[in-house]
Structure 1
Amino acid sequence: MSIDDQPTSGRPSTSRTAEVVGEIEDVRGKQPTLWRGGDWWIHHHVAQFLAKNGMTLLPHPPYSPDLAPCDFSLFPRLKKQLKGRRFADVEEVTDKAQQVLKGIISLEFADTFIKRETWLECCINADGDYFEGDGGVLF
């Protein structure tokens, strides 16, 4: 049995059958300290530890697909190697992609982060409105 939503048409909703509710209560009963106030207990203690030891907790920035690290090194490299080629099947594409990616030496990954830093600065300077191809100079 699963505690996942029951299959229904339309948008997903929480399943509240007696069986599922009972199973969740069983799980919660095994370690009640993890469920205090609806938060996981460990998160509270980690935050206390960080504060006590003078560590600064940086907020996680919102995800932006325009700033994904793979866009600066891996995808351009793959595109360059695969562009204009015809493949017999998905397996052949996968094999060639793996060959290209395995050929990257670790020092080349540093370039990825340098390019990403430049991209982030462009995005910050444009108040988050920077997009490739909008006439701005990236590199």
Structure 2
Amino acid sequence: MGETEVFNVPSVRKENCNHRIILHHDNASSHTAHRTKEFLEQENIELLDHPPYSPDLSPNDVYTFPKIKNKLRGQRFSSPEEAVDAYKSAILETPNSEWYGCFNDWFHPTEKCVKFRGEYFEKQ
């Protein structure tokens, strides 16, 4: 991984040397691609399974993308690279307390999904 990558496995391992790294993703094709799976296995990153057809359980769809989209709203970029750099900056500028809130908001519906064994349930 390059120096500008948002997720730097060695630095995460250094800060959390006694903890496992568990990744939750939404089964998008880029996340389930062979190359991605190889990388995660090589880095000893465990996967938290995501129920299919459950976009309401994807932190990226519920929190990250809308939050960053609002931060970048109205800006124009001259290249894809410039847009990616702006996205990375917005992610890195988001305070840890907001990420903590995202996790708490995500945990409740995920817990419900486990309780109902992946079956559909209405938001309440």
Structure with the higher fraction of residues in strand conformation: 2
Greater relative contact order (CA < 8 Å, ≥ 6 in sequence): 2
Taking structure 1 as the reference length, the TM-score comes to 0.41
Tell me the TM-score normalised to structure 2 length.
0.45
